Amino acid sequence: MTTAHPDDVSADPGSGPDRLAVTADPTTQAGAENFPVALRVLPAAPRRHLLAIYGYARMVDDIGDEYTGDRLARLDEVEQELRGLYAGRPAGERVLRELAPTIEACGIPAEVLVRLIEANRVDQVVARYATFDQLADYCTLSANPVGELVLYVFGRHTAARVALSDRICTALQIVEHLQDIAEDHRAGRVYLPQEDLDRFGVTEADLAAPRANTALRNLVAYEAERAAAWLAAGEPLLGSLHGFARLAVGGYAAGGRAALAALARSGYDPLPGPPKASKAMVVGALLRTTFGRRA
């Protein structure tokens, strides 16, 4: 099999086996959301593998968020077809065909990819989290597999590195939840732990307001500080990596740092729209995180 240019990984969402294939091109809105600046300078092979993984993750997320049919049934279909790849059966879904060479070249186990499907199953039945521990458990499905996949791509997968990567990925998931409070609430989901909402006196009506009140700003600041602590706990991973692997993982961590800085600059009010980090903020964070340099 050959891996097509990411521009080709798209299809009419209404018909055919590729009805839920999506672009993984980092120049598009969907691709840019999860494509760190650092990864754009990677050699062709790891870049191609990462694009295939992004295409798969985006497809699964789109099923969980946007598919108009039976989402759980559709997720089951994707898992069945994914497992078929490991049994030597050809995939009908284009995104999975694009992923097949990456699975083989990088030795990726099925269960790591299946966890992303399971996260979207959870999203269909769970819309609130009572405690942060419950939310962190969700992150083991929704976020942590991505970091593990990156380690497989670079041949750096070990249990110790995965444990550190998990902390980074959980931090990034928390940051994303903070950026998307309003959008998630409109979709009927709240990723702020109920125990923290209660602690800061924040109601769900506050989440639907055009601007954050003081209580919500204080809560967002608290969760941002928590995310920063998780990120710092995972950043020793960079010390065990070299070359492009270090640059790639550093790109993720830098994206998280820059997003946290953007949240702070917004006064911890994401309700008007997700605070966006400038390219200069991301590059500066990349230099500090990856190379220990001031920018």
Q: How far apart are CA 148 and CA 71, in angstroms?
A: 26
Q: Pick from 135, 155, 84, 82: which is nearest to 113 by CA?
A: 82
What architecture is domain 7-125? Orthogonal Bundle (1.10)
Q: Any idea what DSSP says for residue 258?
A: H
Per-residue pLDDT of the chain (295 residues; tens, 9 = 90+): 333 333 232 233 333 434 433 333 333 333 344 445 556 788 999 999 999 999 999 999 999 999 999 999 999 999 999 999 999 999 999 999 999 999 999 999 999 999 999 999 999 999 999 999 999 999 999 999 999 999 999 999 999 999 999 999 999 999 999 999 999 999 999 999 999 999 999 999 999 999 999 999 999 999 999 999 999 999 999 999 999 999 999 988 999 999 999 999 999 999 999 988 767 776 676 677 666 644 4
Q: What share of the chain is helix, strand, coil (3-state, %, to 5)?
A: 70, 0, 30
Q: How far apart are CA 198 and CA 94, in angstroms?
A: 45
**What pLDDT score was predicted for residue 18?**
40
Is 100:107 a contact under the CB 8 Å cutoff? no
Q: How far apart are CA 224 and CA 230, in angstroms?
A: 10
Same fold, 7-125 and 128-295: yes
Please, what is the end-to-end C-alpha distance for the chain in angstroms? 43
**What pLDDT score was predicted for residue 9?**
28
- Region label for 275, one of left (φ > 0), alpha (ψ between -120 and 50) or beta (otherwise): beta
pTM for this predicted structure: 0.85
Q: What is 128-295's CATH superfamily?
A: Farnesyl Diphosphate Synthase (1.10.600.10)
| C-alpha distances in Å from residue 155, one per residue of 41, 158, 159, 246 | 18, 9, 13, 12
The domain ranges of the chain are: 7-125, 128-295
**What pLDDT score was predicted for residue 280?**
72
**What pLDDT score was predicted for residue 36?**
53
pLDDT of 236-249, one tens digit each?
999 999 999 999 99
**What pLDDT score was predicted for residue 41?**
81
